[in-house]
Amino acid sequence: MANVGVVGIGSFIPETVVTNDEFESYLDTSDEWITEMTGIKERRFAGDNIETSDMAVFAAKKAIENARINKKDIDMIIVATTTPDYHFPSVANIVQRKLNLNHIPSLDQSAACTGFIYALVTAYHFVEAGTYKNVLVIGADKMSKIVDFNDRSTAILFGDGASAVVLSEVSDGYGIKSFELGSDGDGGESLYVDKDTHHIKMNGREVFKFAVRAIKESSLSVVKKAGLKSEDIDMLIPHQANIRIMDYARQKMNLPEDKLSQTLKYYGNTSAASIPISIDYELSNKRIKNGDHIVLVGFGGGLTWGAVCMTWGK
């Protein structure tokens, strides 16, 4: 079986910055409260003329360039999203067309904020089996179009963005070492998009309890499956939803603060895009290097969760 890992990465972050102060003008909230409760200071919103597929394409082009391959070498596309442009065609179909990569398989994967983990594991199996050689995996969400901006409990949390990786065969010692996926349909009513208003609805207390348990258990599980110990982990990159949830997981893994990736203060919760955006951010700041053991862990609506332990490098 092939060793499978990330050989290229790229992100798209919208230009429009929305700070916490902007919510103070019409919601009963404050920058101090939002920062203390969530860790978020600002987020980015895409303009009306930018759709989820547009952000996905921008990120994909950067990832392909970073991988130093020809775009024609991409032989499958998987997009993790819950904010598609249309019911169909899928965002992946649109990305395929805009990149002029016709006739290769493309599909969307919906697991809410855990979507990128699900898509990454799906792609991993195709490459490991030798079915496809270079799979483009994209996490992209335009959360601003499904947020109720009059709902204080959710309006402050979300942002827009996209990030993509190219998953391919890598050298011995590198790549994905272990993974875990899970879901609990009984908890779906705690976090969902209302079918009438098309807005996010969330039971914050229940989601918090679920998240702290899922993120701790799945992180520790993949480390053990990889034959590693917590002290071997160089970076924990969780879904960027709430600093208290993220820090809880860090403490349970006995990791120092500098081994926790924290990008939500800049971008908020970008759903399926948050984990790959964070990987790209840490790479650009030289906080991940070849040979580092990293843990990616997500949780979200469904309720879903998942984690991946990998050794970074080609």
Asked if 309 is an active-site residue, the reply is no
Asked if 134 is an active-site residue, the reply is no
Task: Evaluate whether 212 touches 249 at the Cβ level (below 8 Å).
Answer: yes
Of the candidates 164, 192, 156, the one whose C-alpha atom is nearest the C-alpha of residue 268 is 156
What count of Cα atoms within 13 Å lies in the side-chain half-sphere of residue 253?
A: 37
CA 192 – CA 258 distance, rounded (Å): 33
Query: Tokens 């597929």 identify what position?
Result: 53
In angstroms, the Cα distances linking 274 to 2, 73, 165, 237, 241 are 27, 26, 13, 9, 9
User: Residue 276 burial (CB < 10 Å; 0-12/13-18/19+)?
Assistant: buried
CA 33 – CA 39 distance, rounded (Å): 9
Give residues with Cβ within 8 angstroms of 230, minimum separation 6: 220, 223, 253, 254, 255
Asked if 269 is an active-site residue, the reply is yes
Q: Which of 3, 93, 134, 239 is catalytic?
A: 239
Handedness of CA 86, 89, 94, 97 (dihedral sign): negative
Q: Which of 3, 66, 93, 113 is catalytic?
A: 113
Of the candidates 58, 110, 55, the one whose C-alpha atom is nearest the C-alpha of residue 81 is 110
Helix (H, G, I), strand (E, B) or coil at 238: strand
Task: Evaluate whether 247 touches 271 at the Cβ level (below 8 Å).
Answer: no
Q: Which of 3, 66, 269, 309 is catalytic?
A: 269
CA 39 – CA 42 distance, rounded (Å): 9
- Residues carrying an active site annotation: 113, 239, 269
